[in-house]
């Protein structure tokens, strides 16, 4: 008899060779039904695994997170079986479980599209009904290669395996080279959905053949599947690339270049409003705004150290005359040089130089994502030059600004991360111990004082100084780093920055890099996702849509209203198209315009406007002045 210790610490006597599923059934038949796989001495295994030694046994239920991966991997096999049945001659790449489901790569003789997915799903359901046992066995490499001799991809995978023996999973007419584990039979895979198909290079290498990758997702219960599909729908509806197109915010064109966004009229308004907003805030805090060119001499970036450490993320240099220029990946060096151009007294510090600066980074084309990740973007940047004793105050001021801005935008779901140096490895960092220790404890103190919820990341500081960054979570759970504050002890050294201290001596300032909205482009992407494109009145590219009922009778009054709105700086548009009223109203709704004004006989007769607010059914009639006041107030209050 073997001794098997369960998770709760209890011990069982088990005959050698007994299958785990049998042990589970003896414990409780209903428990066995909820079981997906098991952990034998910590290793995930099939329920059909025999127990051959005394061991620790843990049953993994379908409701456990580890079962999700197993179930999805089994579903990938199920799909592969269906595809092989439907499309004879199919060869198989790999089919793993991924974070939210699974995929499988195939080389299918017939080209398939998303329209073919229901057919594959139907075949999968048939196989589920057949309830085929899923069996595992081992083969020698040679035997395995013989078994898969018609599938060059599988043979390549077998060759890459380091062991002499190869694990095979088989379910009737389908077999796969696989480590498992898997559920016991196809009848246990019930709640799945195929989502999309796309091209994918064999082994992710662009020199290889393109395979068809089919994505799907599988859940333990029907309800979980339904919830997940709803989440996917919501994500699609909030995808900033889709919204950006629908609302006329930005566009891309291959002819202009990949990752180079062009801001359309509506997008430009949003950008300008955001820019004014943040620059006004900065101005109130004493920031000085500047403009610097988006090119720089390579020597500038050699001085800053970027050329040595950041070159791979930059566009290649351009040689002109005897000089070399680069598109700047960041504008810190320009600001350093600007600071250095005049003599500074301690009385002027902290000196806050700010710029909405165009930067360029070489992002791999696969990494480009709408306006979230681009090759050209604008940074809401600033460099604050201060004395070492001012670090705490400056840090506090910037943190307060971040909190203030998030409050204005109604962001509630965010995390502050304070990155500190690793005290075990001080050699790695630039600057002296005293400066690091003092500033780190000051940063901590400020965050505590402000009651900010933060966590510390030891060893995550940049080598030139500690930093704080803020990750904001969007409505669909997407985390984006918007704001950062970074102390820098090194750049002042590299650029030999100075100020004259109280004693009339030359001293070295500290530089604090900070971004509040971060990249303006990424910020708009975040806003689109967060608001689903329903911008508040103050940001809405078009605030009011005027829709005359009759193009002849109501035109003069509408023109007149439009002129009044324009004068009051209300962003209005008139729909003069010869379309049905209902169609025009629906379209204004789709464009998520905050106010729709339908202008008919009553409005003309009484000199009023009747509005409907986006997302509301009720219509309200007010005087023209009242309406203008209402919009102006919303604009001022950032509503
Ligand atoms: Zn597999
Ligand atoms: Zn900087």
Beta bridge partners of 58: 39
**Beta strand segments in 542-607, E:** 544-548, 572-574, 595-599
Instruction: Verify whether residue 543 is a known catalytic residue.
Output: no
Average pLDDT score over residue span 262-274: 97
High-pLDDT (> 90) share of the chain, %: 85
* pLDDT above 90: residue 638: no
The Cα–Cα gap between 400 and 449 comes to 11
CA of 491 relative to ligand 2 center, distance in Å? 9
Q: How far is the CA of 487 from the centre of ligand 2 (A)?
A: 10
**Mean pLDDT, residues 522-547:** 96
Give the closest residue to 357 by CA, choosing from 221, 155, 514, 555. 514
Tell me the average pLDDT across 28-48.
93
List the domains of the chain with CATH numbers: 2-61 (3.10.20.30), 66-237 (3.30.980.10), 262-294+331-531 (3.30.930.10), 544-636 (3.40.50.800)
R_g (Cα) of the chain, nearest Å: 32
Q: Residue 1's pLDDT band (boundaries 50, 70, 90)? A: confident
**What is the Å distance from ligand 2's center to 433 Cα?**
23
CA distances from 493 to 305, 393, 445, 497 (A): 11, 22, 27, 6
Query: Quick check: is 629 catalytic?
Result: no
Cα–ligand 2 centroid distance for 336 (angstroms): 9
Which pLDDT belongs to residue 251? 97
User: What's the pLDDT band for 436 if we cut at 50, 70, 90?
Assistant: confident
**151 φψ region: left (φ > 0), alpha (ψ -120 to 50), beta (else):** beta
Dist. CA 310–CA 300, nearest whole Å: 13
pLDDT at res. 427: 81
Active-site residue, 335 included:
no
Q: What ligand is nearest to the CA atom of residue 176?
A: 1
User: 178 C-alpha to center of ligand 1: Å?
Assistant: 4
The pLDDT assigned to 347 comes to 96
Residue 631 to residue 539: CA distance in whole angstroms: 12
Alpha carbons 376 and 559: distance in angstroms, whole number: 40
Alpha-carbon distance of 481 to 470, in angstroms, equals 6
Task: Give the predicted TM-score (pTM) of the model.
Answer: 0.83
Kindly name the residue from 193, 513, 514, 522 that is annotated as catalytic.
513
Do the beta carbons of residue 182 and residue 77 sit within 8 Å?
Answer: yes
Measure the CA–CA gap between 64 and 57, rounded to whole angstroms. Answer: 15
Lowest mean pLDDT among 102-111, 155-164, 257-266, 428-437: 428-437
332 is catalytic: yes
Catalytic residue (one of 306, 361, 375, 612): 361
Residue 438 has pLDDT above 90, yes or no: no
> What tokens appear for 23 in the block?
């042990």
pLDDT tens figures, 292-333: 999 999 999 999 999 988 888 999 999 999 999 999 999 999
Q: Is residue 383 flagged as an active site residue? A: yes
Residue 435 has pLDDT above 90, yes or no: no
Report the pLDDT averaged over residues 216-243.
95
**Cα distance between residue 245 and residue 263, in whole Å:** 11
Q: Which of 46, 105, 359, 381 is catalytic?
A: 381
317, 306 Cβ separation under 8 angstroms = no
Angle between helices 391-409 and 433-449 (to 10 degrees): 40
Cα–Cα distance, 159 to 144 (Å, whole number): 10
Whole-number Å distance, alpha carbon 175 to ligand 1 midpoint, is 9
Around ion ligand 2, residues with a beta carbon closer than 5 Å are 332, 513
């Amino acid at each position: 008899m073997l001794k098997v210790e369960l998770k709760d610490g209890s011990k069982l006597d088990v005959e050698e060779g007994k299958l785990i599923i049998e042990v589970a059934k003896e414990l409780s038949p209903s428990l066995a039904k909820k079981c997906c796989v098991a952990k034998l001495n910590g290793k995930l295994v099939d329920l059909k695994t025999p127990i051959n030694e005394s061991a620790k046994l843990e049953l993994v239920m379908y409701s456990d997170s580890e079962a999700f991966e197993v179930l999805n991997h089994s579903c990938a096999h199920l799909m592969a079986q269906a595809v092989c049945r439907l499309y004879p001659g199919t060869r198989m790449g790999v089919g793993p479980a991924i974070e939210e489901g699974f995929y499988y790569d195939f080389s299918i003789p017939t080209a398939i599209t998303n329209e073919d997915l229901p057919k594959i799903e139907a075949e999968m359901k048939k196989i589920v009904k057949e309830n085929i046992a899923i069996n595992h066995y081992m083969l020698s490499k040679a035997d395995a290669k013989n078994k898969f001799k018609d599938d060059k991809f599988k043979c390549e995978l077998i060759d890459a395996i380091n062991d002499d023996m190869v694990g095979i999973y088989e379910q009737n007419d389908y077999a796969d080279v696989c480590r498992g584990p898997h559920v016991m039979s196809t009848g246990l895979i019930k709640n799945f959905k195929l989502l999309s198909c796309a091209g994918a290079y064999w082994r992710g290498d662009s020199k290889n053949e393109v395979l068809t990758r089919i994505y799907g997702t599988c859940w333990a219960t029907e309800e979980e599947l339904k919830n997940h599909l709803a989440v996917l729908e919501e994500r699609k509806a909030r995808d900033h690339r889709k919204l950006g197109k629908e609302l006329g915010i930005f566009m891309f064109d291959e002819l202009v270049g990949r990752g180079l966004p062009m801001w359309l009229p509506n997008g430009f308004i949003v950008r300008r409003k955001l820019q004014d907003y943040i620059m006004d805030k900065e101005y109130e805090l004493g920031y000085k705004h500047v403009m610097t060119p988006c090119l720089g001499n390579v020597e500038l970036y050699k001085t800053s150290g970027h050329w040595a450490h950041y070159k791979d993320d930059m566009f290649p240099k351009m040689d002109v005359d005897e000089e070399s220029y680069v598109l700047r990946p960041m504008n810190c060096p320009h600001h350093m040089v600007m600071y250095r151009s005049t003599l500074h007294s301690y009385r002027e510090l902290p000196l806050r130089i700010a710029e909405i600066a165009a930067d360029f980074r070489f992002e791999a084309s696969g990494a480009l994502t709408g306006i979230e990740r681009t090759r050209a973007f604008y940074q809401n940047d600033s460099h604050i030059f201060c004395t070492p004793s001012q670090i705490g105050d400056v840090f506090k001021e910037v943190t307060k600004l971040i909190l203030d801005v998030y409050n204005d935008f109604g962001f509630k779901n965010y995390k502050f991360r304070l990155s500190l140096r690793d005290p075990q490895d001080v050699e790695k960092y630039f600057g002296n111990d005293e400066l690091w220790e003092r500033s780190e404890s000051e940063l901590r103190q400020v965050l505590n004082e402000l009651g900010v919820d933060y966590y510390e990341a030891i060893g995550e500081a940049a080598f030139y100084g500690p930093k704080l960054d803020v990750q904001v979570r969007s409505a669909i759970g997407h985390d984006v780093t918007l704001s950062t504050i970074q102390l820098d002890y090194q750049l002042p050294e590299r650029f030999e920055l100075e100020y004259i201290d109280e004693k009339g001596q030359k001293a070295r300032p500290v530089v604090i890099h900070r971004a509040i909205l971060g990249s303006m482009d990424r910020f708009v992407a975040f806003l689109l996702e967060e608001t689903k494109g329903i911008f508040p009145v103050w940001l809405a590219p078009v605030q009011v849509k005027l829709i005359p009922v009759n193009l002849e009778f109501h035109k003069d009054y509408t023109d007149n209203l439009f002129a009044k709105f324009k004068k009051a700086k209300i962003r209005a548009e008139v729909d003069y198209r010869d379309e049905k009223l209902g169609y025009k109203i629906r379209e204004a709704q789709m464009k998520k315009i905050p106010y729709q004004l339908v202008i008919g006989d009553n409005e003309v007769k009484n000199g009023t406007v009747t509005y409907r607010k986006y997302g509301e059914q009720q219509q309200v009639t007010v005087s023209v002045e009242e309406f203008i006041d209402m919009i102006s107030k919303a604009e001022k209050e950032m509503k």
